[in-house]
Amino acid sequence: GQNIDQPTEMTATEGAIVQINCTYQTSGFNGLFWYQQHAGEAPTFLSYNVLDGLEEKGRFSSFLSRSKGYSYLLLKELQMKDSASYLCAVPKGLSGGYNKLIFGAGTRLAVHP
Amino acid sequence: EPEVTQTPSHQVTQMGQEVILRCVPISNHLYFYWYRQILGQKVEFLVSFYNNEISEKSEIFDDQFSVERPDGSNFTLKIRSTKLEDSAMYFCASSESGRNTGELFFGEGSRLTVL
């Protein structure tokens, strides 16, 4: 089955850098997603990694190590609007696909001035 | 920018009543999903739907739940006889691809409160 662990809460200062870690255990690996979820809103896609290494997208970067079952999301130049939950998720689908995402509990990030 | 829309945004119902939550997926998407999130808990998969049939469902999606695509644009989730524990935010999602690498686009959610 799938098991995903991420810290429950983190705090950081506006303008700083923060790294949110995620460890996972899966039976079969089809990549790893990061989603952002503001309180009371829908998750929105941030990144998808299927190969080892760092993928950079503006202020946000995501890293994957398949051998370690480990990913992190790196947020640079933090802004107040980055205060949200960050959800690590892995797909578990039928052999033909279909997007059944298994989500972690999320890391609630609070950015303060 | 195309988006997934859901109605109602909030519904309050009595235990035992039937509820229908509606979704309009992104128009060129072929794969549709329902997820739910109980307050303070993780987002959980309920069901995926493709080509007018359920492709996968979770243990949560029991006989009280059903999904339907009644026309070319709507995708509905019906809960036949609501229970207190059905209180949650229900998210509809759609994707262009059914591959596990495809991005999901979520709607804003329908908050269901069962009294």
Q: Is residue A95 pLDDT above 60, yes or no?
A: no
Q: How confident is the model at residue A96 (pLDDT cuts 50, 70, 90)?
A: very low
Mapping DSSP onto H, E and C, the string for B9-41 reads: CEEEECCCCCEEEEEECCCCCCEEEEEEECCCC
Residue B11 tokens, joined:
């519904």
Q: Is residue A97 pLDDT above 60, yes or no?
A: no
Which of B50, B103, B109 comes nearest A98 by C-beta?
A: B50
Q: How confident is the model at residue A40 (pLDDT cuts 50, 70, 90)?
A: confident
Query: Where do the DSSP E strands lie in chain A?
Result: 3-5, 9-13, 18-25, 32-37, 44-49, 53-57, 60-65, 70-75, 84-91, 101-103, 107-112
Residue type, B71: D
Output the CA torsion B49→B50→B53→B57 (10° steps): -30
Pick the residue from chain B with its C-alpha nearest to A46: B103
Q: Is residue A107 pLDDT above 90, yes or no?
A: yes
Residue B79 tokens, joined:
């809960």
Residue A104 sits at the chain B interface (C-beta within 8 Å): yes
CB within 8 Å of A70: residues ≥ 6 apart:
A21, A22, A23, A24, A64
Q: Categorise residue B52: left if φ over 0, alpha if ψ from -120 to 50, beta otherwise.
A: left
Residues 45-74 of A with CB under 8 A from B: 45, 48, 50
Q: Strand B65-68 to strand B75-79: parallel, antiparallel, or no bridges (unpaired)? A: antiparallel
- pLDDT at position B38, please? 95
CB within 8 Å of A10: residues ≥ 6 apart:
A18, A20, A107, A108, A109, A110
Is there a contact between A104 and B50 if contact means CB atoms under 8 Å apart?
A: no
Q: Which tens digit of pLDDT belongs to each residue from B39-75?
A: 989 999 999 999 889 988 999 999 999 999 988 789 9
Residue B60 near residue B47 (C-beta atoms within 8 A): no
β-sheet bridge partners, residue B47: B34, B57
Residues in B lying within 8 Å of A, measured between beta carbons: 31, 33, 35, 41-45, 48, 50, 55-56, 58, 91, 93, 95, 97-109
